[in-house]
Structure 1
Amino acid sequence: MAAPSSKQVLRRLCQFGAFILTRFGFWNCFTMLMLFAERADVKRKPDIQVPYLYFDMGASVLCASFMSFGVKRRWFALGAAIQLAISTYASYIGEQVHYSDWLKVRMYSRTLAIIGGFLVLASGAGEVYRQKHRTRSLQSTGQVFIGVYLICMVYSLQHSKEDRMAYLNHIPGGEITLMLLVVLFGVLALAFLSGCYIRLASQILAVVLPLILLFIDGNLGYWHNTRHVEFWNQLKLMGHNVGIFGAVLILATDG
């Protein structure tokens, strides 16, 4: 049996990235429900008022379902981006739950990157059999959003004690390695913001993100017990990074 060609491998990776990103809405809704159930035990409010919360989750599941089946994927990817933006804005202005500043940066920057990923998907990137021309403006906007997410990572690694300790406790080399990561994320952010070397930058980020997900985000003991991040909120944030990884895979193979 002949080994798959490089084009076939890239196509499968691209399909895998699209598979992850299109299913993000399901995981996001599940973790939100579990998070709000966790808060109900201690009589804390959800991020969004209950009547609107059901509409928000319904829209998210609807968009994820149609994207998963490949029905009008571009339109529903754009709808998912708009839904997530409205949901995040409603959560921000509602101020029903107080978050620390460093946690806000982690949450909102990842949400922005997911919105960017949906815009990349809405542009036509990641389609195996593309019947329409790609909308470059949507892809460029999505790339900028991912670039802003990387800038926020640079900011957190420089100014957030909580994020710095998460890395310093789990990477060899201490401060030197941390500074190298800051430089790396900064260079990748410039690539995404400028639109130059997008495929190369995405390939590098596709290698780095799983390591961050496994060793940094996956350290539930640190985030939940030491930094008092709600358990299901941390799992929700991990899901965000998985979704970002899916978007980056698409750009790394079809950028």
Structure 2
Amino acid sequence: MAAPSRKQMLRFLSQLGAFILTRFGFWNCFSMLMLFAERADSKRKPDIHVPYLYVDMGAAVLCASFMSFGVKRRWFAMAAAIQVALSTYASYIGEQVHYGDWLRVRMYSRALAIIGGFLVLASGAGEVYRQKPRSRSLQSTGQVFLGVYLICMVYSLQHSKEDRQAYLNHIIGGEITLMLLEVLFGVLALAFLSGYYIRLAAQILATVLPLVILLIDGNLGYWHDTRKVEFWNQMKLIGHNIGIFGAVLILATDG
């Protein structure tokens, strides 16, 4: 049996990235429901006022459903980007739940990156049989959002003792390795912001992100027990990073 060619492998990875990103809305809604159920025991409020919360989750599921079936995927990817933007804004101005500054950076930077991922998808990147030319302006805008996310990662590693300790617990070389990671994320951010070497930068980030998800985000004992991040909030953040990984896979193979 012949081994798959490089072109077939790239196509598979691009489809995998699109599969992950288009299903993001389902996991995000599920984790939000579980988070608000977790808060109900302590009589804490959801991030968004309840009447708007149902509309927000309905829109997210609708967009995810149409994208998953490939129906007008560009349109619904754009709609999903708008939905995440409105949801994030409503959560920010609602101020129903108090978060520490370091956690706000983690939450809102990932939301920005998801918006960027949906803009990349809406541009036509990752389509197997592209019937219309991709929108380079939409893709560039999405890449900028991903670059901002990486800048926020650098900021967190420099100024957040919570994030620094999470990395120091799992890397060899201590502060020196941490500094090298900051430089790496900074260089990747510049690539996404400038639009140069996008495919190479995305390939590097696609290699690093699974390790971050597994070792850093996946350290539930650290985040939940030590840093008091709600369990389902951390699971929601893991889902965000997996969705970002899907977007990066698309750029790494069809950027």
Sort the TM-score into its range (normalised by shorter chain).
Answer: over 0.9
The separation in 1 between residues aligned to 2:84 and 2:11, in whole angstroms, is: 28
Q: CA deviation at 1:105?
A: 0.1
Runs of 5+ consecutive residues of structure 1 not aligned to the other structure: none
Q: CA deviation at 1:2?
A: 0.8
1:160 counterpart residue number: 160
- Asked if 1:126 corresponds to 2:130, the answer is no
Give per-residue Cα distances to partners, 1:39-63, cap 9 Å, x unaligned. 0010000000111100000000000
- One-letter code aligned to 2:79: G
- One-letter code aligned to 2:89: Y
RMSD of aligned alpha carbons: 0.3
The separation in 1 between residues aligned to 2:185 and 2:87, in whole angstroms, is: 28
The separation in 2 between residues aligned to 1:93 and 1:206, in whole angstroms, is: 33
Q: CA deviation at 1:64?
A: 0.1
The separation in 1 between residues aligned to 2:12 and 2:53, in whole angstroms, is: 36
- Asked if 1:31 corresponds to 2:38, the answer is no
Q: CA deviation at 1:177?
A: 0.4
1:184 counterpart residue number: 184
1:75 counterpart residue number: 75
2:2 is paired with a residue whose SS is coil
Q: CA deviation at 1:145?
A: 0.1
- One-letter code aligned to 1:192: F
Q: CA deviation at 1:194?
A: 0.1
- One-letter code aligned to 2:223: W
- One-letter code aligned to 2:126: G
Give per-residue Cα distances to partners, 1:152-174, cap 9 Å, x unaligned. 00000000000000000111110
- Asked if 1:209 corresponds to 2:209, the answer is yes
After TM superposition, the structure 1 = structure 2 runs for residues 81-160 of structure 1, keeping only pairs within 5 Å, are 81-160=81-160
- One-letter code aligned to 1:29: C
1:12 is paired with a residue whose SS is helix
Runs of 4+ in structure 1 over 6 Å off? none
1:216 is paired with a residue whose SS is helix
The separation in 2 between residues aligned to 1:200 and 1:54, in whole angstroms, is: 40
The separation in 2 between residues aligned to 1:118 and 1:80, in whole angstroms, is: 7
Q: CA deviation at 1:222?
A: 0.2
1:250 counterpart residue number: 250
Give per-residue Cα distances to partners, 1:60-92, cap 9 Å, x unaligned. 000000000000000000000000000100010
The separation in 2 between residues aligned to 1:252 and 1:170, in whole angstroms, is: 26
Q: Report how many residues are paired.
A: 255
The separation in 1 between residues aligned to 2:80 and 2:211, in whole angstroms, is: 27
- Asked if 1:199 corresponds to 2:199, the answer is yes
The separation in 1 between residues aligned to 2:165 and 2:58, in whole angstroms, is: 38
What percentage of residue pairs aligned between the two structures are identical? 87
